[in-house]
């Protein structure tokens, strides 16, 4: 739980200052004035006392134990000071000083030194180059932020300190509370993974919200986040996800931001909700922090204004939420209790003169309705609207219910008091219906993730030894690219069917093989020296007769020999022509932080044109592989459209799983591209036509 | 200009009440207290005087002229009162009373009566069932809204009265000003088109913002909006754009909301910017109302915090805005004037301790840079941040520049005073970078639209008479579906190539035709009675020899005759088999409000699976048709991907134009589906294989 940061019994402020306006003054003042109960030791060799606390020249001079050091001195002195902290037995240090990795190579070296010192003494570091930590549970504000946020159940961490200040300011006025609030700075030691782990069992935290620019240990992040997401809701902004953004990240902190595909897959697989802006992060966080999870995607909308109700309905449909019909009993109850002109269809329009009671009746009725999983209550300030009483009734209904209730009090000054009442009842309010719906949809996505069973890997009986031999052979020859015939053997060894193929030394042998396979066949030159066969006339397709095969063979040997004088030509491959089926592809790339990223999409020119790709991080289980197949737009095509036959989706899933196993078994494979992979009708399986494989 | 509504010299409040809390009191109070200079006549037979104004028993009893009547009496009395208004010579009436179309059939009849009365007397009506009108230019608040918005250059109209109240409340606290503010209500007479026309030349209005649930006269709306968009920026929410939303619209106001495709096309073609929420509507409106248009899509971002700068960069790239490099001179100037650690790359990160001066230097430099079209200035509240002075310098720079400058002061209480300063300089502020970027991108889209030349229709030399004959013939026979052979003739008459086709009476004739066309051919049964040929074995493709044609002919006549005993079988069509090319489709549907909607997309199963369709309202010109072709995802395929040949895009545009002309020439065509339309390589043209045509 990182007690040294979240529950220290004694804190030293190294670089405490007597002068208001200085960071060393602000931090000490923050530590003192927000109710922290532990011992506080300002460290400043030139002062006797600051803000009523006795000063010490160094941590060594402090008589008692110290758990946490806040370090605010110029970067060139931090290493020596950190050694003193280590000698003193201090277990945690927050280094707020800047001038490290973000300032260039010299700073990077100094930062490495800090980490080495910390390891030596068994210390944990936060920062450097950070704003500090605020812990509302310990009432400790160990930061130079202005103000102390309210207690709440959101634990927040940010790679941008400035964002922390803006966010705290917003949180103060929007009454958003936090349990822990961490500025990660350069993440020299403690990083997002450290805090995710620490907060996993934290009883004061329901939501972990994060602003991240780059994740170094992508695989570990994914593993830990997958565990933590079963206990808490993790909501993260990952910035730098476009080219322009990634350039900005790199000039900002010198970190490489990794591929968007990898982040997308990692977040999705580990249940991390992605927020696109600070606004989304706030909107989603307060929903999860304050309300129970949405257990059923059928929503009711209650409103005193038709227009916003319609906008909410539009937003629900776009987000995949349903506007359910109410049960007969509910319709009856509403019919009896509400004026005749009220629309009991969903959205339930209580009309412009709706009183608080009318809202109360409608909300309690729909919350009791088994067809309804959650409710959004829209209130526009009209002449007869009882803002505060309506808010109070919404709060009471919400308190009594296990279903999420969101407010959408639209307007500003007139509804402000109502929003305060909602806040006091832990009902989140959103200023427009679309934002309430987006938060509800985030709940839907998170619940669906939680409902998934943990992944279950199954292992196929494959010929791993054969692939070991092939890859070793390729590397032995100093090659990185695996040849066509070798790649086909790899596929066969992992149980992925390939077209029947034989190596013919001469034209007559080619004809014999063709007759064995059955016409039509393809003939392709076989040479380790020729990579792009098509370019040199080394591929002939659809050969339908012995004559055609014979001619193709001779022509090919002649042409390719002329094209590449010294080439080692083994002969020609005679290959089964695959007829029918649909072309898809399965590929893998290596991300520097997340390792292999697997992709699935339509093959051929359509696949290339439409950029319709599903990505996941291996290892895959059958559920995850099935998601990949079903996620692409082109799935409509594979599923069988307008009387078209359903493709063999099970065989596709099987291939993806086998490829995932291949990737796990042979980490030296850094890239592959199985394209086209032809899938036939249901029960007819697949054939992998061509595969490129690249080794490390 | 609808002076009776926006500049009346005398106003009668019919239904004025003495009792505070009553609408009749609130409206009169609103008319009186916001500075209206004209005459005010409360009408109430039971009162002598209200709020210091003499009361009259009826409008007839008023001695002077009246320009505008505000009618607040129960619906059953409105008709008689409206007659009195007509007799009095009143030219405008705002009917706030409810209980009309929205209340059922009886109300609908009463509403029709009001319109008839208005026509009889040459009166214009706003409403019924509306909140009224606020005109800040005339200082007239003729509504029962609470409060009067500031003067500004946004003219707003809304089909939802409740939304008006919420919006006014937001506007009051966010200091958003309006020129005119109209609650449209049921739109019995004056509607969005009426006000768009009225505001076209309004010197007080720069932006027309609208909330709409349905547009009755879609074609006229599109025509007028296209004109008005050249003068003003129109920003509109169209709600009810999903199935759930459309059901909600229908239960709310009884209007049908029309097809989303039609609205999408209409808004896009007429330059109307679509807003997805009230938040977007506000965000975009204040951008256009306060700042000059973005003339160059290259943006600079200035920030004192790395994180938000990165988020802004991400948002720019997603929105299609560019982060440009600065000119050499600018880099020099910034290098000299700013600390060495400042990043002069774009985003320009002025660092956490950035003073107002640093912002001023950076902003004035980039505004002078010819590489930069607009600037977003991000300010997070850090220890050294000079909020108000920074805002002032931003305001001054913006005032001196012809380029749009948006603020993004992040936070709440701490930055509030800065946002007020920005407002006083007409610099819009957005709380998160993504919203500032979205508003900038809206400017980009609108400018691009304005740069388009007006559409130029060209007319092809077609055989209109022949199509007239065919369609009349079809209708003469009582059919609505045009047969295959007829449809092919229609295509030929309008210059769209079709496969060579001949009607053969017997098998020998079929063989002769096949030899003339060249093998392979297709044979299809020709009968006006058989619509689904394939289902009855009436289609044979890829016949490669005379024997095959002969057999197919005989078998087909035998089979179809057996399938449909009394069918009139003319023989078989012998048709050229089209080889190669790519399949696309062009279709048209009729929207109840917007008329024909033309669509273009990939053909075949890919087109069906991928829902990748471009929609436009005819008539098309070559620019618009070109946009349709280039807009679909599948365009990458047509353009020639990875060495694939470019398709004949010019021929596709030509076909779309000819189809547009067909639609204009024959309004009785309510639907067509030209699918597949095969497009060959560049210069090789197209062939329309199959077309379905449905008449009214």
Q: Say if residue A590's pLDDT is above 50.
A: yes
Window 238-257 of A: residues touching B by CB (8 A cutoff) are 239-245, 247-249, 251-253
Judge whether A144 is closer than 8 Å to chain B, CB to CB. yes
pLDDT score of B258? 58
Contact A242 B161 (CB under 8 A): no
Q: Which residues of B touch A644 (CB under 8 A)?
A: 605
Contact B160 A307 (CB under 8 A): yes
Judge whether A279 is closer than 8 Å to chain B, CB to CB. yes
Closest CB to B307: pick one of A163, A307, A411.
A163
Q: Which residues of A touch B264 (CB under 8 A)?
A: none
Instruction: Give the tens place of pLDDT for each residue, B314-333.
Output: 999 999 999 989 999 999 99
User: Domain B464-576: which CATH class?
Assistant: alpha beta
Q: Distance (Å, rounded) from C-alpha B152 to C-alpha A228?
A: 51
Number of CB pairs < 8 Å for A and B? 278
Judge whether B331 is closer than 8 Å to chain A, CB to CB. no
Instruction: Give the tens place of pLDDT for each residue, B296-308.
Output: 999 999 999 999 9
Window 341-360 of A: residues touching B by CB (8 A cutoff) are 341, 343, 345, 347, 349, 352
Q: Distance (Å, rounded) from C-alpha A677 to C-alpha A687?
A: 6
Report residue A311: phi and psi, to 5°. Answer: -60, -40
Contact A306 B642 (CB under 8 A): no
Please count the other Cβ atoms lying within 10 Å of the Cβ belonging to residue A417: 13
Closest CB to B412: pick one of A144, A170, A380.
A170
pLDDT score of B542? 86
Contact B314 A431 (CB under 8 A): no
Instruction: Give the tens place of pLDDT for each residue, A162-216.
Output: 899 899 999 988 889 999 999 999 999 999 999 999 999 999 999 999 999 989 9
**For B326, which DSSP code?**
P
pLDDT score of A396? 97
Q: Is residue A692 a contact partner of residue A673, using CB atoms and an 8 Å limit? A: yes
Pairing of strands B207-212, B150-158: parallel
Q: Distance (Å, rounded) from C-alpha B180 to C-alpha B135?
A: 5
Instruction: Give the tens place of pLDDT for each residue, A518-533.
Output: 988 999 888 877 766 7
Judge whether A211 is closer than 8 Å to chain B, CB to CB. yes
Task: Find the residue in A nearest to B437 (Cα).
Answer: A277
User: From the CA of B350, how many Å to the nearest CA of chain A?
Assistant: 11
Contact B383 A26 (CB under 8 A): yes
pLDDT score of A621? 94
Judge whether A384 is closer than 8 Å to chain B, CB to CB. no
Task: Find the residue in B nearest to A252 (Cα).
Answer: B306
Q: Report the candidate in B361, B418, B408 with the shortest Cα–Cα distance to residue B386.
A: B418
Across-strand partners of B125?
B93
Q: Where are the domains of chain B?
A: 3-287, 293-451, 464-576, 582-695
**Selected residue of A103, A106, A162, A341 to mutate for chain B interface (largest B Cβ count, 10 A):** A162
Report residue B671: phi and psi, to 5°. Answer: -165, 135
Q: Distance (Å, rounded) from C-alpha A282 to C-alpha A439?
A: 10
Q: Report the candidate in B211, B89, B76, B69 with the shortest Cα–Cα distance to residue B142.
A: B69
Contact B307 A637 (CB under 8 A): no
* Per-residue confidence band for A7, with pLDDT thresholds at 50, 70 and 90: very high
Q: Distance (Å, rounded) from C-alpha B524 to C-alpha B547?
A: 16
**For B415, which DSSP code?**
G
Element (H, E) at A283: helix A278-290
State the average pLDDT over residues A97-102. Answer: 90
Q: Say if residue A642's pLDDT is above 90.
A: no
**Selected residue of B158, B304, B306 to mutate for chain A interface (largest A Cβ count, 10 A):** B306
Closest CB to A412: pick one of B163, B170, B415.
B170
Tell me the ipTM for this assembly.
0.91
Q: Which residues of B touch A211 (CB under 8 A)?
A: 307
User: From the CA of A502, how many Å to the nearest CA of chain B?
Assistant: 30
User: From the CA of B409, how many Å to the nearest CA of chain A?
Assistant: 9
Judge whether A417 is closer than 8 Å to chain B, CB to CB. no
Instruction: Give the tens place of pLDDT for each residue, A217-245.
Output: 999 999 999 999 999 999 999 998 777 77
Q: Is residue A635 a contact partner of residue A629, using CB atoms and an 8 Å limit? A: yes
Task: Find the residue in B nearest to A213 (Cα).
Answer: B307
Judge whether A41 is closer than 8 Å to chain B, CB to CB. no
Task: Find the residue in B nearest to A307 (Cα).
Answer: B160
Contact A306 B383 (CB under 8 A): no
State the average pLDDT over residues A317-337. Answer: 94
State the average pLDDT over residues A368-383. Answer: 95
**Per CATH, domain B3-287 is 3.40.50.261:** yes
**Which residue's structure tokens are 């002069």?**
B344
Closest CB to B310: pick one of A239, A606, A633.
A239
Correct CATH for B582-695 of 3.90.1150.10, 3.30.470.20, 3.30.1700.10, 3.40.190.10: 3.30.470.20
pLDDT score of B254? 46
Q: Which residues of B touch A415 (CB under 8 A)?
A: 169
pLDDT block averages, 10 residues each, chain B of length 696 = 90 95 92 96 96 96 96 95 97 94 90 97 95 96 92 96 90 91 96 97 97 93 96 95 76 58 94 96 97 97 94 95 94 92 89 93 97 97 92 97 97 93 96 97 97 89 96 91 88 95 92 92 84 76 90 86 78 89 92 92 76 91 95 88 84 97 95 93 93 90
Contact B381 A166 (CB under 8 A): yes
**Selected residue of A244, A309, A583 to mutate for chain B interface (largest B Cβ count, 10 A):** A244
Q: Report the candidate in B525, B511, B648, B499 with the shortest Cα–Cα distance to residue B577.
A: B499
Task: Find the residue in B nearest to A22 (Cα).
Answer: B383
Judge whether B306 is closer than 8 Å to chain A, CB to CB. yes
Judge whether A435 is closer than 8 Å to chain B, CB to CB. yes
Report residue B672: phi and psi, to 5°. Answer: -145, 160
3-state SS string for B205-228: CCEEEEEECCCCCHHHHHHHHHHH
Q: Which residues of A touch B610 (CB under 8 A)?
A: 610, 612, 633-634, 636-637
pLDDT score of B256? 46
User: From the CA of A248, how many Å to the nearest CA of chain B?
Assistant: 5
Q: Distance (Å, rounded) from C-alpha B28 to C-alpha A47?
A: 70
B293-451 matches B464-576 in fold: no
Q: Which residues of B touch A347 (CB under 8 A)?
A: 248
Report residue B583: phi and psi, to 5°. Answer: -90, 125
Report residue B142: phi and psi, to 5°. Answer: -100, 60
Q: Which residues of A touch B173 (CB under 8 A)?
A: 412-413
User: From the CA of A87, how many Å to the nearest CA of chain B?
Assistant: 33
Judge whether A29 is closer than 8 Å to chain B, CB to CB. no
Q: Which fold has domain A293-451?
A: Rossmann fold (3.40.50)
Task: Find the residue in B nearest to A26 (Cα).
Answer: B383
Q: Distance (Å, rounded) from C-alpha B194 to C-alpha A616?
A: 54
Quickly count helices (H) and strands (E) in chain B: 24, 30
The lowest-confidence range among A147-151, A337-341, B135-139, B654-658 is A337-341
Percent of chain A with pLDDT over 90: 75
Instruction: Give the tens place of pLDDT for each residue, A232-280.
Output: 999 999 998 777 777 777 665 544 445 888 999 999 999 999 999 999 9
């Amino acid at each position: 739980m990182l007690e040294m940061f979240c529950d220290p019994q004694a804190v030293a402020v190294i670089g405490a200052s007597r002068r208001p306006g200085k960071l060393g003054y602000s931090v000490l003042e923050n530590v003192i004035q927000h109710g922290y109960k532990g011992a506080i030791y300002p460290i400043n060799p030139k002062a006797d006392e600051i803000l009523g606390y006795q000063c010490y020249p160094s941590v060594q001079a402090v008589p008692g134990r110290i758990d946490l050091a806040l370090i605010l001195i110029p970067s060139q002195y931090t290493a020596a000071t950190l050694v003193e902290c280590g000698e003193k037995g201090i277990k945690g240090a927050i280094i707020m000083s800047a001038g490290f990795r973000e300032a260039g190579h010299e700073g990077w070296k100094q930062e490495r030194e800090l980490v080495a010192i910390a390891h030596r003494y068994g210390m944990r570091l936060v920062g450097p180059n950070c704003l500090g930590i605020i812990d509302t549970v310990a009432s400790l504000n160990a930061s130079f932020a202005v103000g102390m946020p309210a207690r709440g159940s959101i634990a927040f961490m940010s790679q941008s300190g400035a964002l922390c200040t803006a966010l705290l300011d917003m949180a103060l006025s929007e009454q958003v509370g936090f349990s822990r609030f961490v500025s990660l700075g350069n993440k020299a030691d403690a990083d997002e993974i450290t805090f995710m782990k620490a907060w996993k069992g934290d009883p004061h935290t329901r939501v972990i919200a994060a602003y991240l620019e780059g994740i170094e240990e992508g695989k570990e992040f994914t593993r830990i986040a997958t565990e933590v997401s079963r206990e808490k809701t993790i909501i993260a902004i990952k910035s730098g996800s476009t080219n322009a953004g990634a350039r900005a990240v790199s000039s900002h902190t010198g970190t490489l931001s990794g591929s968007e595909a990898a982040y997308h897959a990692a977040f999705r697989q580990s249940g991390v909700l992605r927020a696109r802006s600070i606004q989304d992060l706030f909107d989603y966080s307060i929903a999860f922090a304050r309300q129970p999870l949405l257990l059923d995607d059928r929503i009711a909308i209650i409103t005193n204004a038709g227009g916003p109700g319609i906008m909410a309905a539009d937003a629900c449909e776009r987000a995949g939420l349903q506007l359910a019909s109410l049960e007969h009993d509910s319709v009856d109850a509403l019919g009896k209790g509400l004026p005749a002109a009220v629309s009991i269809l969903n959205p339930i329009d209580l009309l412009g003169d709706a009183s608080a009671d009318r809202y109360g009746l409608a909300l309690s009725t729909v919350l009791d309705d088994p067809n309804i999983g959650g409710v959004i209550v829209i209130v526009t300030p009209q002449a007869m609207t009882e803002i505060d009483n309506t808010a109070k009734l919404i709060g009471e209904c919400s308190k009594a219910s296990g279903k999420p209730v969101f407010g959408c009090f639209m307007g500003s000054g007139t509804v402000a008091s109502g929003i305060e009442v909602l806040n006091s009842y832990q009902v989140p309010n959103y200023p427009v219906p679309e934002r309430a719906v987006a938060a509800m949809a985030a709940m839907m996505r998170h619940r669906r993730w939680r409902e998934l069973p943990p992944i279950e890997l199954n292992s196929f009986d494959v010929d791993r030894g054969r692939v070991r031999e092939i890859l070793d052979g390729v590397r032995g020859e100093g090659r990185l690219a695996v040849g066509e015939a070798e790649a086909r053997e790899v596929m066969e060894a992992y149980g992925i069917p390939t077209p029947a193929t034989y190596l013919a030394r001469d034209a007559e042998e080619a004809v014999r093989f063709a007759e064995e396979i059955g016409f039509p066949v393809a003939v392709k030159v076989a040479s380790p020296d020729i990579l792009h066969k098509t370019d040199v006339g080394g591929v002939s397709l659809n050969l339908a007769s012995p004559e055609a095969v014979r001619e193709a063979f001779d022509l090919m040997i002649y042409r390719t020999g002329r094209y590449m004088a010294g080439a080692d030509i083994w002969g020609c491959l005679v290959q089964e022509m695959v007829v029918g089926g649909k072309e898809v592809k399965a590929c893998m790339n290596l991300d520097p932080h997340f390792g292999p990223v697997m992709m699935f999409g339509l093959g051929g020119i359509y696949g290339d044109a439409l950029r319709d790709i599903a990505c996941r991080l291996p290892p895959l289980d059958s559920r995850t592989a099935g998601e990949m197949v079903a996620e692409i737009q082109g799935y409509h095509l594979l599923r069988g459209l307008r009387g078209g036959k359903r493709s063999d989706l099970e065989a596709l899933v099987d291939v993806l799983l086998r490829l995932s196993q291949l990737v796990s078994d042979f980490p030296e494979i850094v890239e592959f591209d199985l394209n086209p992979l032809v899938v036939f009708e249901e029960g007819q399986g697949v054939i992998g036509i061509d595969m490129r494989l690249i080794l490390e």
